[in-house]
Each structure stands twice: as C-alpha cells, then as structure tokens.
Amino acid sequence: MPIRPVDRVIAANQQLEGEGFPIRRPFPTPALMDFDPFLMLDEVGPVDYPPGRALGAPDHPHRGFETVSYVLSGEKLHEDSTGKTQLLRPGDVQWMTAGAGIVHSELPSPAFKAAGGRAHSFQIWVNLPKARKYAEPGYQHLPGDATPVAEQDGGRISVRVIAGAAFGVEAAIGTATPVWLQDWRLAPGAEAELPVPEDFNAAAYVFEGEARFGPDRASAGVGDFVVFGAGDRIVMRGGAGGGRFLLLAGAPLAEPVARYGPFVMNTEAELHAAFDDYRSGRMGVIARS
Ligand code: FE
C-alpha cells in the first residue's frame, strides 16, 4: 500500500461557542460534515483574558458519545452530575464517556479566572458505537506529566501519545473503539513516517507553525485540517519554522448518526428520548454546596 495522499485541506471556521469564547472548527462545517468516528474538533482560543473575564461552558448535558478536553494553556474546572470535580491544568487530558447521559460544566478555574491569562485548549467529540451509547458515564483523567511521549531524531520529532500508538509508545487512555489522538511537534525539516491501519480514517490539524504532508509534502498552516486518503502510512515533515499538529485517526463506525446539540444517537427517536430524559432530570444535576 502507498503513502496516504492528502485528499483535502479544509480551513477551520472561526466562530463563538459557550458563553462567547472564540474557537476554530474544521468540522462539522458545510465543507466537512463527517469524519467518522470523530464528530467535532474545536480549537478553543488561544485567547488572552484580562482578570475576571475568562469564559467557559456552564452546566449542559451529553449523551451517546465521548468528549475529550486537552488543555494547552489556562486552567479548566470540570464538575459533573456523577458528583466528580476535576481541575485540568496545561497538558492534562480528560476523556469523558457521556454514555447514557451526564451533565457537566467546563469553566475556567476560579484561580485562572481571577488572574486572567491565555486560554488555549482542544475539545474533541468521539462517537460511541450503538452498543456503547448507553454506557455508564465517567471519565479518564490523564495528567500532562503522565502522558506517554515518543521521541525520534534526537527530539526533533516529539509525539504526545494521548490515544493510539507511535514509535512503539502506547497511550495510557483506553478507547471504546480504535481511536488515535496525538500531539505532534516536528522541528524544521524533521520528517516522520507513521504506519496507520488501512481501515482508519486519518487527518492532521495544524495549530502552530507549518507542516508538510503526504507524498507531495503539501504545506498546511495554522487552522488547516488535512484529510488523508487511502494508504497504510502517513508521511509528515516540519515546515521552515517547525510545526505542531494533532493527529486524529480511527476506525469508522459506519453507523447511522442522528445528532442535535449535545446529543449524538443513531435515530431521531433516540434524540427525542434524550431531550425528554434531560428535561425531566434523568441525566442528573450538578450538586453544588
Ligand atoms: Fe460539554
């Protein structure tokens, strides 16, 4: 099998989310509605907040999929209807299984909000297969300093392996179906080749500098989502000033998707049931003292 070619390069949409914070979203957008098994990729910020002004997403529900938060800068406080509270610091990942239903809030930590500063993070939605949509809700917390890192070429290639594997380094996060999520840094001109299973969809989202991809070393800059075509491996090279990107890959579920707002199910009837269950309090509430 060949090196995966660059199929498409999609420029992220810029918009406001939650209480009004700026995001870049390559999908879902009119240019790219589906990237099975992923449902959404948001780069939140970077935005520099004065003291007291940082924004987040207060109490809201989810059902039927997983939400992944990866903090680059700033601090987030997660609270949820299972009674758990978790502070997320720079480098930390929260891989949350909404499953049958959870209500959570994702707000700046009180200390970060008071001090102000740069907020920069990723929010990624990963679909669950039909058989796991009603799984028990919960999350995996992966501290930044516990994230496995793979290095090659004397550190000119560095990969934070959040999910999946790279250069023999295995992730600490467990996923419901085969899903890879990795934070790659390539020094100027550093070139890497990574085997990626042929049945996976695969893409790269550049968020610092510039990187080059595929047999033609096509250039992609900040905000570009590079969708790879068929093949058994990916080739990547750091641009003139180096580049940093997220690698997203996974086995497509190939199941019907019915989505509305915070719910992602297989049928419209299941979406209606999700709204009913949320409105009637069956997904719980966040207990605050
Ligand atoms: Fe959420």
Mean pLDDT, all residues of the chain: 97
Cα(49) to ligand 1 centroid in Å equals 21
Cα(55) to ligand 1 centroid in Å equals 14
CA-based nearest residue to 248, from 32, 41, 17: 41
Cα(113) to ligand 1 centroid in Å equals 19
Cα(194) to ligand 1 centroid in Å equals 32
**Strand order in 93-97's β-sheet?**
13-17, 21-27, 38-49, 117-127, 65-73, 93-97, 138-142
Cα(249) to ligand 1 centroid in Å equals 22
So what's the pLDDT on residue 34? 86
So what's the pLDDT on residue 286? 95
Provide, rounded to the nearest whole percent, the portion of the chain with pLDDT above 90.
Answer: 97
Rg (CA), the chain: 19
Cα(235) to ligand 1 centroid in Å equals 33
In this predicted structure, the answer to whether residue 161 has a pLDDT above a threshold of 80 is yes
Over residues 182-223, the pLDDT tens digits come to 999 999 999 999 999 999 999 999 999 999 999 999 999 999
- Give 3: exposed, middle or buried? Use CB within 10 Å, 0-12, 13-18, 19+: middle
Cα(72) to ligand 1 centroid in Å equals 17
Model confidence, pTM = 0.97
Over residues 32-51, the pLDDT tens digits come to 998 999 999 999 999 999 99
Cα(215) to ligand 1 centroid in Å equals 37
Cα(18) to ligand 1 centroid in Å equals 9
Average pLDDT over residues 58-84: 98
Average pLDDT over residues 156-170: 98
Going 61 to 26 to 42 to 132, the CA torsion angle's sign is positive
Cα(105) to ligand 1 centroid in Å equals 7
Cα(183) to ligand 1 centroid in Å equals 21
Cα(228) to ligand 1 centroid in Å equals 28
Over residues 105-133, the pLDDT tens digits come to 999 999 999 999 999 999 999 999 999 99
So what's the pLDDT on residue 19? 85
In this predicted structure, the answer to whether residue 69 has a pLDDT above a threshold of 80 is yes
